Every structure is written in structure tokens, then in C-alpha cells.
A and B are shown apart, each in its own frame.
Chain A
Amino acid sequence: NAGVTQTPKFQVLKTGQSMTLQCAQDMNHEYMSWYRQDPGMGLRLIHYSVGAGITDQGEVPNGYNVSRSTTEDFPLRLLSAAPSQTSVYFCASSRTGWETQYFGPGTRLLVL
């Protein structure tokens, strides 16, 4: 098993550009989530999904969109990047909502 994979590992964007952060898992997990990690603030939940076709907002959803068309994939879309979205983004998955979450290696995003 590859576990949770994220691409790209690092990305530089200009303000206003759009991009999609990819997340995939091969463990047939129902629950997937996106977090951002900023210094001194821990991890904050952006969006999560409890199964294909079902998504919900977390603590900091503004500026981000998600969809869950398959069990395996949970992409995070930035429609118009802003410098405040400079962060490290982690995707996680678990069998159900409160089972052990497995984290991906992260995507480091810099918005200029």
C-alpha cells in the first residue's frame, strides 16, 4: 500500500492563480480530510468528507473547494490564491471518522 499520497510536494503560485492539490489513498478509507499547518497554530481543518459524494466544511474553509467523486481521491482546489494561503497542507484518511487518521507527507505552498 502506498498509503496517503499528495502531489505536488512544493508549489509556488502568484496571487490570483488557481490550482488543485491532489490527495489519494489506497486503503479504501471512507473519511478524508484536509488541514493546513501554520507556525504556532497547529493544524486547522479546512474540509472533510465522510464518503464519496459527501463533503463538509471545517474550521477554515474560505477560499478552498473540495469534491469527492471517488473513495480514493479528495482534491483541494484554490480558486484564486492569496498570500494568506501560504502554508503546508496535509491530507489525511481513516476508515471511519474516529479511527486512526493516516497523514500524507504534505504539500508546501507559497503564494507570492
Chain B
Amino acid sequence: AQSVTQPDIHITVSEGASLELRCNYSYGATPYLFWYVQSPGQGLQLLLKYFSGDTLVQGIKGFEAEFKRSQSSFNLRKPSVHWSDAAEYFCAVGGSSDYKLSFGAGTTVTVRA
């Protein structure tokens, strides 16, 4: 069965500092990987996705993620965070055999001035 682990429940970062959110997945074949963001009281918005090809993926809002098959990881990064990046971030995995997406438990990011 596919699964996602986000080891960090909560991260606090200073505005302007870099951010890295960890994601480890379990999937038997080539995974489809996603990062979503949820602002308070809102639905989810896709930041980026990886299906194949270049393992460094660029997304919206200045985010990027790197797929590392050997480590079963898909970590999300941003070089310089803004106060508006405070939100909950979810990593998700799916596969080509069906359309079932499995989400991690999420990481809450707090940005301090």
C-alpha cells in the first residue's frame, strides 16, 4: 500500500530564511508526487508535481522540490520565505495504476517577523 510520511509536524522559520519540508513516500512502482498548500480556512492548492523527467521540479510561489528515488523522498524547498507562506503543507503520492492519492499528515509552517 502506498503511504506518505511528513516527519515534521510544525516548523517555525524567520521571514527571509530558507525553508525545507521533508516528505518520504512508500510506493511499489514509479510514483506520482505532489505538494499542496492549505492556507487557514481554505481548500488546497497545488504547488508542484512530479511525474517523470527532471528530478528538480519548479512550482508556483517560488517553491521547488527534488525527487530522490534512492531515498524515497520528495522534499520541498523555498530559498526565502514570506509571511504569506504561513500555511499547512501536504505531500501526496499516487501512481499510474489508479487514481488514488494518499496524503501525508501535513506540516504546519509558522513564519515569524
Where the two chains meet, the residues of A that have a C-beta atom closer than 8 Å to any C-beta of B are 4, 31, 33, 35, 40-45, 48, 50, 56, 58-59, 90, 92, 97-98, 100-101, 103-106
Task: Report whether B100 and A103 are in contact in the complex, using a CB–CB cutoff of 8 Å.
Answer: no
A42 in complex: contacting residue of B45, B96, B98, B103, CB < 8 Å = B103
Cβ-closest 9 pairs across A and B: A103-B43, A97-B99, A42-B103, A43-B103, A103-B44, A42-B105, A100-B46, A105-B43, A42-B106
A49 to chain B, nearest CB (A): 9
Known: A45-B101, A97-B99. 19 other contacts (CB 8 A): A31-B99, A33-B101, A42-B4, A42-B6, A42-B90, A42-B104, A42-B106, A43-B44, A43-B103, A48-B99, A56-B99, A58-B100, A59-B100, A90-B44, A92-B44, A98-B94, A104-B43, A105-B43, A106-B43
Number of residues on chain B facing chain A (CB within 8 A): 24
Task: Report whether B105 and A98 are in contact in the complex, using a CB–CB cutoff of 8 Å.
Answer: no
Q: B94, B101, B106 — which one has the most chain A CB atoms within 10 A of its CB?
A: B101
A95 to chain B, nearest CB (A): 12
A-B contact count (CB 8 A): 52
Chain A contact residues: over half helix, strand or loop, or mixed?
strand
B105 in complex: contacting residue of A40, A48, A50, A97, CB < 8 Å = A40
Where the two chains meet, the residues of B that have a C-beta atom closer than 8 Å to any C-beta of A are 4, 6, 9, 32, 42-46, 49, 51, 90, 92, 94, 96, 98-106
The docked-state distance in angstroms from the alpha carbon of A35 to that of B101 is 10
A10 to chain B, nearest CB (A): 12
A102 to chain B, nearest CB (A): 8
Measured between beta carbons, the chain A residues less than 8 angstroms from B6 are 42
With contact pairs A43-B90, A98-B51, A100-B49 given, residues A59 and B44 touching in the complex (Cβ less than 8 Å): no
With contact pairs A90-B44, A104-B43 given, residues A98 and B99 touching in the complex (Cβ less than 8 Å): yes
